[in-house]
Chain A
């Protein structure tokens, strides 16, 4: 158990139906990351927050958005999911943003868009 909690574990949604994935980082971790894992794209970095502020962005499409709240939990939103967004979404956390910080991953949220 990494200490990173993600909900829901599985979610089936229709195209165009807004989705929210939730993440609670490990206790004491200020940095939260979101990754997308799919068969064709592999593990792709989406976005990183540190102490409530956006720090880095990867290949994240406009219909994706995220935020980190004052209690440090984070949400990843898909405003209008498409079939190709079906994937496993990982949240991860680390203490800081320095080089070599160990990043701990949650077990992921499986999203199926139908």
Chain B
């Protein structure tokens, strides 16, 4: 079975500070990993994804994430927070079981930016 754990349902950082949103996964096979962002009253938008290859993945809006197999983690970072980054962020894992792909989401982390 696969699951995703996001540590911290709410994270607050000052504008200009480092953003770190944590995601750990459990999977019996190598997973594909995703980060989605949901702005208020909008749908989910893909930030970045890891499939194979380079473990440091760069996404949109200056975000990046590093796949660490030994730590089963896929934490999302951004060097300098901007007010427009305030949103809810979801980590997700995808793998095929019995021929069917399933995307499982974490419970989300709400990011607040302090002016």
Residues of A in contact with B (beta carbons under 8 Å apart): 2, 4, 33, 42-43, 45, 48, 55-56, 58, 90, 92, 97-108
Contacts and interface: CB of A to CB of B under 8 A. Distances in A.
Contact of B105 (A2, A42, A99, A104): A42
Closest 7 CB pairs of A and B: A105-B43, A100-B51, A56-B100, A105-B44, A43-B105, A107-B43, A100-B32
Q: Is the interface of B mostly helix, strand, loop or mixed?
A: strand
Interface centre among B45, B94, B101, B108 (most CB of A within 10 A): B101
Contact of A104 (B41, B46, B103): B46
Nearest to A104: B46
Nearest to B108: A42
B95 interface: yes
Nearest to A96: B101
Contact of B95 (A4, A99, A102, A104): A99
Interface residues of B, number: 23
B90 A99 contact: no
Contacts of B83: none
Contacts of B49: 100, 102
Contacts of A103: 46, 103
B72 interface: no
Given A99-B96, A105-B44, A42 B101 contact: no
B51 A56 contact: no
B101 A102 contact: no
Nearest to A43: B105
A90 B46 contact: no
